[in-house]
Structure formats: C-alpha cells, structure tokens
Amino acid sequence: MNPLDWTNDGDGITYQCCRQCDSRWYFQRGFCPRCGSSNPTTLQASGIGMVHARTLVSRAPTEEWKAHSPYLIVMIDADEGFHLMAHGSMELQIGTRARARFIALAGRKIPYFEKFQ
Ligand SMILES: [Zn+2]
C-alpha cells in the first residue's frame, strides 16, 4: 500500500529517507540533499513529534486566511528524524509532544498538531 499523504488527500504525512546515508527529510525530491544519492525511499510518518519552534500569525497572508487568524504555526521535530512546519493548537509550546490530525481549513486538508502525551 502506498503511504498516505495529506497532499494527496490522505490522512497521513510522508517523508523520504536516503538508502545510502540514512538522512531523512520532508519535501519530496528525487535525490538526497545530504549526499546526492538518487532513488530515496518514501515512508509513512507516525505524525508524532516535538514542537521545536512556534510562531503566532496575526496578519494573515490572504483574505481567505484572515477569518482564521490569529493562528499558530509550529516547526515539528518528527519522531522519524525530519522536520516540518504545520498549523497547531494554541496550547503548543516549545518542547510539547504533539500529534497530527487532519482538518479542512480554508478549503483544503492540512495537518494540524495537538498536544499528545
Ligand atoms: Zn544520502
């Protein structure tokens, strides 16, 4: 079964892993950003990680997003060893364990992180 990914309307997050050096990253590409090796593996992430940084967005970038502001953007250190940015609940602080669920916001499906013990 192919890994589920929210960018393809699935309730999941995928990441890539280098077959040569075991580097892991989030944005899909055809080569390893660390060693340049081609043909990385695409894997299913647990959707669980720790908040590395947070920023409160008060000035939405578009009219569509104005209705949702202020909202929180978090940088997540995923348990699998890659990083991603996503929306998250206001309670999230640096160091908080968090897990993604998938919600519709401003007309599209997105990962949304919430506190997780
Ligand atoms: Zn590599």
Residue 45 vs residues 13, 55, 64, 85, 99: alpha-carbon distances, Å = 6, 23, 29, 14, 11
67 part of a folded domain: yes
pTM of the model: 0.91
The pLDDT, as a whole number, for residue 68 is 86
Would you say 54 and 92 are in contact if contact means Cβ atoms under 8 Å apart? Answer: yes
Task: Please indicate, yes or no, if residue 20 is contained in any of the structural domains.
Answer: no
Q: Check: CB of residue 15 under 8 Å from CB of residue 26.
A: yes
CA of 105 to the centre of ligand 1 (A): 35
Quote the pLDDT of residue 20.
97
pLDDT for 42: 96
* Side-by-side strand order, sheet with 14-17: 24-25, 14-17, 41-44
Residue 95 lies in a domain: yes
Residue 31 placed within a domain: no
* C-beta of residue 102 within 8 angstroms of C-beta of residue 82: no
Ligand 1 mean position to 100 CA, how many Å? Answer: 27
> Ligand 1 centroid to 16 CA: how many Å?
10
Question: Residue 55's pLDDT is what?
Answer: 97
Give the C-alpha separation, 55 to 34, whole Å: 28
Instruction: Spell out the per-residue pLDDT of the chain, length 117, in tens.
Output: 689 999 999 999 999 999 999 999 999 999 999 999 999 999 999 999 999 999 999 998 888 888 889 999 999 999 999 999 999 999 999 999 999 999 998 788 999 999 998
**What's the total number of domains in the chain?**
1
Residue 9, domain member (yes or no): no
The alpha carbon of residue 72 and the mean position of all alpha carbons in its chain are separated, in whole angstroms, by 13
Asked if residue 64 is part of any domain, the answer here is yes
